[in-house]
Structure 1
Amino acid sequence: MPFQGTEIEALGYAGIFLGVLLAFEGLRQVLGRKETLNEVRNRRMRMIGRGATASDVLQILKPRHDRWALERMPLIGTLPQALRQAGVAIRPQTFVAACFLGAACMAIVASAVVPPAVGAGVAALLCIVLPFFAVHKIKTRRMDALVAQLPDALDLMARGLRVGHPLNTTMASVARDMADPIASEFGVMVDQVAFGDDLVDAFADFADRTGVEDVRYMSVAVAIQHGTGGDLARVLATLGKVIRDRISMRKRIQAISAEGRLTSVFLSSLPLFILGATSITSPTYYAEVSGDPLFRPFAIIVCLLFAVNFVVMRRMVNFRI
């Protein structure tokens, strides 16, 4: 028995509701994931406790740098590095395939209820834009946590060096005693050295893997000390103090520029608010002139100016120290 129009419409609404619910729940679990104290200590140690070998740990926490076929494409060209920095153990090919497959399924279901163009746009927003945005937010949060932990890790290494421990032992103490994400990253370096990698190369890989400027400073300091000698404990302690001062300066600048950032958000969202309010209160305001030949060129110009305004305002209030 063929489905009636009302049944197809009901199935379409049910599919859209299920897709939105699954997307929201997935983002909620990813972005709002909380761990207990025992879980947060060290991801690497948990894997070893479950019986994983050092090679298994390296394979998951430090995957191979295979050539990414889409590395020249904007927005998704840096996806492999973003997934590594976010700590998401998933292949970029699988991630992209899942996003586009989900978008295609949702667009097909939504096209039974809304126009195909609208359904495709909603599907792309929920299944493509939101997952990539979630990865970016997780990466930013994880790298900020790593930078906040770095001064304590450097102090721990400096104290170990002062009492006579070798550098490898101080790295192992950071991997064992501190929490993630820095514990797992140092654990990867410890495993690299245990497998025969040079110490300087392990720190350089750490800097490349995270892409954090402060980590690169630490890598350069270890490389210089390894080649020329010197008091590495004093260098690490000084570097830890410098990183703390940089973090304090960033927070101070964020507090000072909070009013400007709020103003930029208000000014950037004001045209959208006016457009939405006008379309709701007077639907024929733009519809009456939409057939004019000059309407589309001027609409494109307004959209471009709006985008330029957003970028300029963002750069004016986005400070980085």
Structure 2
Amino acid sequence: MTFAPLIPVLAAAVAVTLLLGIRELLRIARDRRRYVAAAELESQEEQVTSALRAWDARFRRTRPGRWFAGELDLAGLSFPPLVVALVTLAVGAGITWMIWRFLAPALAILGMVAGFVLVRAYLHRAQQRRQDAIVAQMPELARILANASYAGLSLPTALAVASRELAEPARGELARIADRLRFGAPLESALQEFRQRVRSREAGVLIATLIVSSRSGGSLVTALRDIARSLEQRKETRRQIKTTLSGPMATANAILVIGIALLFVLNLIQPGTVQAMTQSPAGVLSLAAAGLLFSVGYLVIRAMAKVEP
């Protein structure tokens, strides 16, 4: 019996097996390179993150760092203060370049001021949104405290229960109070800190009621239920007022935008006009007067449309 006819078949099988083996080795090598690259990238990211945390910790010990950290905490944002400070510088540098390039070099110094004002306005807006959200939760908080007090729970325990029942952002603030009480802080001190952080009349009324009750006793359940009804009505009133005043607030913002846009339009119609104005006393006086008028108009409208917290 001869095996000659099987030789081509065996050769083909060996060739196919060899090709499959080479393909598998190449796949393994490719996966290995990908895993090594991913591990190196993750290691580099960890190093960058560690370095960023170290620099952020140093920045927090400075006065600007403490200010940024405090503002971010009140706004409920978790960004590192160092990153926000760098973003502020980047925004200021970008606006400075735009003013230098399209308006006049003499006005470029206003770019850094504008960058800080924009970031500060963003933080203030975030703080206002968080404060409004907490104020909207005040009626529910009063009801939870009333029910807990009716069940015979102490005020610190009722606050701990409320911190678990409510959603953010009130949950975080109440958890802060519960943690302070757990570590031995006086109840009045913890409540006053909450009042200072929220800074609204609704929180002030509720905290004053809790403090008076903790000092002198009394029917806390009835008082909290009455406060819950009053806060619910006040929340609806605030919503209607803000809806009514949204138009004037938009007008105030439009005034600033129009004032800045006019400079760019003027320079676009006649290139070099703004720079020429900065080089003459009359032009500087005109720019200062225009800026003052626009600023006064903006502040007046904001003051008229402001709702006291």
TM-score (norm 1): 0.62
Could you tell me the percent identity over the aligned residues? 22
| Correspondent of 1:222 among 207, 210, 220 | 210
Q: Which amino acid aligns with 1:154?
A: A
Pair 1:134 & 2:118 matched: no
Query: Which is further off, 270-279 or 114-123?
Result: 114-123
Q: Deviations over 1:298-321 (max 9, x none)?
A: 222222222112111221222336
Question: Does the Cα contact within 8 Å between 2:163 and 2:174 map onto a contact in 1?
Answer: yes
Counterpart in the other structure of 1:38 = none
TM-score (norm 2): 0.64
Q: Which runs of 5+ in 2 are unaligned?
A: 1-59
Alpha-carbon distance in structure 2 between the residues aligned to 1:290 and 1:132? 28
| Correspondent of 2:244 among 241, 245, 256 | 256
Deviation at 1:90, TM superposition (A): 6.7
* Higher-helix-fraction structure: 2
Q: Which amino acid aligns with 2:295?
A: A
Q: Deviations over 1:20-61 (max 9, x none)?
A: xxxxxxxxxxxxxxxxxxxxxxxxxxxxxxxxxxxxxxxxxx
Alpha-carbon distance in structure 1 between the residues aligned to 2:281 and 2:73? 49
Question: Does the Cα contact within 8 Å between 1:103 and 1:120 map onto a contact in 2?
Answer: no
Deviation at 1:67, TM superposition (A): 9.8
Q: Deviations over 1:192-214 (max 9, x none)?
A: 22222222222122212333332
Counterpart in the other structure of 1:159 = 147
Question: Does the Cα contact within 8 Å between 2:163 and 2:175 map onto a contact in 1?
Answer: yes
Q: Which amino acid aligns with 1:217?
A: V
**How does 1:308-319 map onto structure 2 within 5 Å?**
308-319=296-307
Q: Which runs of 5+ in 1 are unaligned?
A: 1-65, 71-75
Query: Are residues 250 and 302 of structure 1, via their aligned partners in 2, closer, same or farther at CA, if it must alter by over 3 Å?
Result: same
Question: Does the Cα contact within 8 Å between 1:86 and 1:142 map onto a contact in 2?
Answer: yes
Query: Are residues 90 and 285 of structure 1, via their aligned partners in 2, closer, same or farther at CA, if it must alter by over 3 Å?
Result: closer
Question: Does the Cα contact within 8 Å between 1:87 and 1:139 map onto a contact in 2?
Answer: yes
Alpha-carbon distance in structure 1 between the residues aligned to 2:242 and 2:288? 34
Question: Does the Cα contact within 8 Å between 2:255 and 2:294 map onto a contact in 1?
Answer: no
**How does 1:102-117 map onto structure 2 within 5 Å?**
none
Q: Deviations over 1:229-277 (max 9, x none)?
A: 1111121222222222222112212233344344444455444444433
Counterpart in the other structure of 1:172 = 160
Q: Which amino acid aligns with 2:307?
A: F
Alpha-carbon distance in structure 1 between the residues aligned to 2:236 and 2:164? 27
Deviation at 1:141, TM superposition (A): 1.5
Counterpart in the other structure of 2:266 = 278
Counterpart in the other structure of 2:188 = 200
| Correspondent of 2:73 among 84, 87, 102 | 84
Question: Does the Cα contact within 8 Å between 1:207 and 1:215 map onto a contact in 2?
Answer: yes
Deviation at 1:147, TM superposition (A): 1.0
Question: Does the Cα contact within 8 Å between 1:158 and 1:233 map onto a contact in 2?
Answer: yes
Question: Does the Cα contact within 8 Å between 1:103 and 1:124 map onto a contact in 2?
Answer: no
Alpha-carbon distance in structure 2 between the residues aligned to 1:237 and 1:120? 55
- Aligned to 2:308, the other structure's residue is in SS state coil
Deviation at 1:132, TM superposition (A): 3.1
Q: Deviations over 1:136-178 (max 9, x none)?
A: 2222221111111121111111112123222233212211122
Question: Does the Cα contact within 8 Å between 1:153 and 1:174 map onto a contact in 2?
Answer: yes
Q: Deviations over 1:60-95 (max 9, x none)?
A: xxxxxx99846xxxxx99655423212345776x46
CA-based RMSD of the aligned residues comes to 3.8
Deviation at 1:102, TM superposition (A): 5.3
Alpha-carbon distance in structure 2 between the residues aligned to 1:266 and 1:296? 24
Alpha-carbon distance in structure 2 between the residues aligned to 1:295 and 1:166? 69
Query: Are residues 281 and 81 of structure 1, via their aligned partners in 2, closer, same or farther at CA, if it must alter by over 3 Å?
Result: same
Alpha-carbon distance in structure 2 between the residues aligned to 1:273 and 1:119? 16
Question: Does the Cα contact within 8 Å between 2:252 and 2:301 map onto a contact in 1?
Answer: yes
Q: Which amino acid aligns with 2:224?
A: L
Query: Are residues 67 and 245 of structure 1, via their aligned partners in 2, closer, same or farther at CA, if it must alter by over 3 Å?
Result: farther
Query: Are residues 270 and 214 of structure 1, via their aligned partners in 2, closer, same or farther at CA, if it must alter by over 3 Å?
Result: same
